Amino acid sequence: MKIDHQLAEQWITPRSQVLDLGCGDGSLLAHLQRALGVDGYGIEIDQDKIIDCIANGVNVIEQDLNDGLARFADNRFDTVVMARALQAVKAPDQLLLDMLRVGRQVIVTFPNFAHWQNRIHLGIKGMMPMSEALPYQWYDTPNIHLCTFKDFEQLCADHDIRILNRFAVQEYSRPYAWAAAQVIRKYPNLLADVAVYRVTKR
């Protein structure tokens, strides 16, 4: 599993209700079902990935996340997970609030646009950066609202969202041996390429 999926597993209670937004092939939810006995649903729009979800034994709903979560009642789920998809929706602030409405806690992960490699790429080349965490050209990227650790935390402050946990993940290229885990935690906006948050309503 991706490292942010591994972290998400630590925060999910066995046999709880889970909603996975932008669930892809359903691999995370399928793992949580096997390992923790959770009950839940995935939401996905890609037809091929929906077929994969079904093959993986995941209950999946075909839906565009831009349409929101109105089909679900308040506090319907113990945990709502959204891995690396928040930056691809039209109104990430509104979707985050909707996630907090239907879930008691929310786990969200996203690529950190302020990672040092992106800064150098943009500063030296003068072009939108590409990396393993952001593997798209500017004209074909699904990422329309790129953000950073600081941006997300400001969003939480603006909407009175409580941050329970934050992990700064250096998942991809590791060109600097000196950047141990504690250093990455100290300077997440510069050194981490993936952000992982667990948040809830105040």
CATH topology of domain 3-201: Rossmann fold (3.40.50)
Contacts of 63 (CB under 8 A, 6+ apart): 43, 44, 45, 71
- pTM (predicted TM-score): 0.85
Rounded Cα gap, residues 58 and 42, in angstroms: 7
pLDDT (tens digit, 9 = 90+) per residue, 33-52? 999 999 999 999 999 999 99
pLDDT (tens digit, 9 = 90+) per residue, 147-194? 999 999 999 999 999 999 998 887 655 544 445 566 777 778 787 888
Q: Which residue has the higher pLDDT, 170 or 93?
A: 93
Rounded Cα gap, residues 187 and 185, in angstroms: 6
